[in-house]
Structure 1
């Protein structure tokens, strides 16, 4: 059984505890096939939608409960990484619609993504600009009542299977970050092409997209021209703590697997858990998990309590939880010995799953830069 004592912390209300129990019950009943990720993601979306799990991934009133999102991702990730991926992308892909969409845009897509009948994607990264969003080069050129898209996006989760993409392109209102805009794109548009499906150590639907003279109506724009960077950062502010929560779920599963292993595996007539070195590993794992949870749910609580931006808190949570989850899982693999790297073992799968979380939605080194800049700005503001 996973530790749920953290749900008694003052960050949570009764409905959060009920929600966590519901997600746990639904997650335990999922039978996830990892051999065909495209089909599995569509199936999982439908199952999670029917169970109401996707309900908090968007809203028509522009509000997110980040604690609810984090609890869902932590719980789903503890059970299965692909189930967490499906939930995360339904939120990330439509987050800009919730925060900046018009009523017609919300009506067209949010009921479908919440039901799991339409898959969504967030197309931000480019071959030459991953973390450097402000220097994206894909263009959207105004032509009468339309925009013409030209350029490439890569490492796009749900790329190739999504029904709706939130895409960012340079409209040129100003240099750098102030010259980007956001658009809603469907894959049936002429000039839209999936040029490559990307394979990673933990299989997920990923693709490179190319846009060649791809014409979209101006009504496909989200927000105002030049607001794209603001929109992207606002979405990441909401969902970055949830990446940390997914890492926490992976770490909790790793600790559970390790505890079961060391209390049942014997060495020289005694369980592994009697060894002080093993106890030291367990202590480190438990400490890292609780510290991560505190940072994650502090950030989520702050956002839900009305903080306009949680950039520093979200960066701290994302950096610490993903880095420490890697360490927790590595210790679990070590405690399993040879079985820890056997294909099909839970800890082997977790070892592959965790690595990407330290890269996407802001790599660990980028989070350090964000934290440092925010901390320096706070100090300079006080002096």
Structure 2
């Protein structure tokens, strides 16, 4: 049984507690799904989440970050692929939710009800954490924009119906020359060059754009605002990556607790051994510390903070690193069963690793935090 006392913390309102309880009940009846065909599973999950009303929280008139975080934590605890499916609907359309025109926002109806799958095309072969190195371009041709270049490690790549894509539009150097566009996946010239297999299977792809023609109305915001738009979207969603890690960690502790109380060695439950108790204590401590950082960041944004760059970086960094350690401890406490393919803790071990890389690797988060501290001290 999971400790739910954190829901009484002052970060939350009654509606958040009701949301967490309702979603947990829904997950008990619907998750996990069969992952044998990952693409089919993701399509099914988006449809299920849309029918259940949960995607209403992924984009609308405003984003409630505490709700997003609670949903991601709960879904991750039940099924990592369900968390992925939910998160990408929000991240993929985050720029439209925050900056989109009325015409662009019509897509939100389809992504919120599960009728369309969203993707966020930011990363390139030579531009990951350093977005300013983006090389894909868009040039004006009459009333249209013509896009060329490549994007890689694109979540929902190959199955998405709509992408938010960031490319270079101007002569300004670095980040100042980037713009964001809304690009339907069936646009002529959009090609899935290769699917990318990872240790925890998700729909990921390398995309190539060849003379992709988009109307002027596809531009999100103003020309040259792409970097600011992308960073604002990540500012909103980065704490929720920590929340997903928190969900994985909570599930690992549930599994570890069940294991050490049921498993007997040396004439007593494993839980009676002091070394085992030490592991359990460390796991619980890291989970609570991660939860405090995650929900502090989410609460701060919901209270109207213009930027939560530092708080989001701390939440994402600590929660993902701590979850890796908690899950590793759970694997250790399971002994040989912990590395058996298909066991819950083995699956968690594979699922959590990518979270320390995507949406800003851990080392990048440290740089963000350090610059914030050093900048405030001068």
Question: Shared fold (TM-score greater than 0.5)?
Answer: yes
State the partner residue of 2:47. 46
Pairwise CA RMSD: 0.7
Q: Aligned equivalents of 1:111 and 1:2: distance in 2? A: 34
Provide, for residues 295-315 of structure 1, a one-character-per-residue CA deviation record: whole Å limited to 9, x for no partner: 000000000001000000000
State the partner residue of 1:73. 72
State the partner residue of 2:19. 19
Q: Aligned equivalents of 1:160 and 1:92: distance in 2? A: 16
Q: Aligned equivalents of 1:64 and 1:88: distance in 2? A: 13
TM-score (norm 2): 0.99
1:56 has 2:57 as partner:
yes
Provide, for residues 321-367 of structure 1, a one-character-per-residue CA deviation record: whole Å limited to 9, x for no partner: 00010000000000000000011110000000000000000000000
Q: Aligned equivalents of 1:73 and 1:2: distance in 2? A: 16
Q: Aligned equivalents of 2:89 and 2:297: distance in 1? A: 21
* Contact kept in structure 2, 1:254 and 1:350, CA below 8 Å: yes
Q: Aligned equivalents of 1:343 and 1:244: distance in 2? A: 25
* Structure 1: segments with no counterpart, 5+ residues: none
Q: Aligned equivalents of 2:187 and 2:51: distance in 1? A: 29
* Contact kept in structure 2, 1:173 and 1:226, CA below 8 Å: no
State the partner residue of 2:9. 9
State the partner residue of 2:362. 364
Consecutive aligned runs of 4 or more in structure 1 exceeding 6 Å deviation: none
* Contact kept in structure 2, 1:49 and 1:116, CA below 8 Å: yes
Provide, for residues 216-252 of structure 1, a one-character-per-residue CA deviation record: whole Å limited to 9, x for no partner: 1111010000000000000000000000000000000
Aligned positions of 1:91-240 closer than 5 A: 91-107=90-106, 109-240=107-238
State the partner residue of 1:83. 82
Aligned positions of 1:307-318 closer than 5 A: 307-318=305-316
Provide, for residues 33-74 of structure 1, a one-character-per-residue CA deviation record: whole Å limited to 9, x for no partner: 111011111111111111111111001x3x210000000000
Shift of 1:173: 4.7
Mean CA deviation greater in 172-181 or 242-251? 172-181
TM-score (norm 1): 0.98
* Contact kept in structure 2, 1:183 and 1:221, CA below 8 Å: yes
How many residues are treated as equivalent by the alignment? Answer: 377
Q: Aligned equivalents of 1:26 and 1:199: distance in 2? A: 30
